[in-house]
């Protein structure tokens, strides 16, 4: 799962990034309005943590732009202003939640899990696709009731596939979902191939019914047999 933090305070932003990375999220960040606009225009995120007061513009304007582009990213607004007006404006513009500074990192993590669950999983704690069950909050997956032993990248790939069943997914989209800001890592496409190959093997050995198939010249597709 991929998170974007748009926050101009270096200390707070770095603390949030480290905390969320420990929770096994792929975390990207932006320090001002223009960086945030570039990120939301080019990429999709499971959740955006958005400060209201930003150099170069308002976080509320970024939220408006997000909705103008018809993006589905969940948004949590954070602000030092304990203002009812700001909260109402943000929620009216489509934000999913509002968190007033200062806040505990544990609360931020809980809020992120909650908005992702509400939007992507209809409030459920698990994602069920035929005989595969994935628990995003626990980073665990099961086939026929037996736990799959997956490394972090394999789990992230599985999560991406099960939330996009039947969709042809380009390799670039997979790399972005797994590495985020580290997309320029050397041999990332070769590594994706290796990780998908390993994931396929583990799903097959576990007798998973959904199957990851290659789509020549494009990427991959998770196929659920009728």
Convert the pLDDT of each residue in 163-172 to its tens digit: 889 989 888 8
- Which residue in the block uniquely carries the two structure tokens 């209201």? 52
44 pLDDT more than 80: yes
Residue 163 backbone zone (phi > 0: left; psi -120 to 50: alpha; other: beta): alpha
Q: How many domains are there within the chain? A: 2
Q: Are residues 198 and 215 in the same domain?
A: yes
Question: What percent of the chain lies above the pLDDT cut of 70?
Answer: 91
Same domain, 30 and 110: yes
Examine the domain organization and report whether 115 and 153 are in the same domain.
no
Please check whether residues 160 and 200 belong to one and the same domain: yes
Whether residue 14 is found in the same domain as residue 111: yes
Domain carrying residue 83:
2-120
- Cβ contact 67:96 at 8 Å: no
Which CATH number do you get for residue 213? 1.10.10.10
Query: Is the same domain home to 67 and 109?
Result: yes
Q: How confident is the model at residue 24 (pLDDT cuts 50, 70, 90)?
A: confident
Choose one of 75, 101, 120: the last residue of a domain: 120
Whether 51 and 6 have beta carbons less than 8 Å apart is answered as yes
> Whole-model pTM?
0.68
């Amino acid at each position: 799962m991929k998170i974007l933090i748009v926050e101009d305070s270096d200390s707070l932003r770095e603390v949030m990034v480290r905390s969320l990375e420990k929770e096994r999220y792929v975390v990207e960040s932006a320090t001002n309005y223009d960086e945030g606009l570039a990120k939301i225009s080019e990429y999709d995120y499971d959740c955006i943590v958005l400060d209201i007061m930003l150099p170069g513009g308002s976080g509320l304007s970024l939220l408006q732009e997000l909705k103008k582009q018809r993006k589905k990213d969940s948004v949590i607004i954070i602000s030092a202003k304990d203002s009812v007006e700001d909260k109402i404006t943000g929620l009216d513009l489509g934000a999913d939640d509002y968190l007033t500074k200062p806040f505990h990192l544990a609360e931020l993590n809980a809020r992120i899990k909650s908005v992702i669950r509400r939007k992507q999983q209809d409030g459920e704690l698990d994602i069920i696709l035929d005989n595969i069950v994935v628990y995003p909050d626990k980073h665990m997956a099961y086939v026929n009731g037996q736990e799959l032993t997956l490394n972090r990248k394999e789990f992230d790939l599985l999560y991406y596939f099960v939330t996009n069943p039947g969709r042809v997914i380009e390799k670039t989209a997979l790399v972005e979902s797994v590495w985020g800001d580290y997309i320029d890592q050397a041999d990332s496409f070769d590594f994706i191939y290796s990780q998908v190959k390993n994931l396929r093997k583990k799903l097959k050995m576990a007798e998973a019914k959904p199957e990851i198939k290659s789509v020549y010249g494009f990427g991959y597709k998770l196929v659920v047999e009728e």
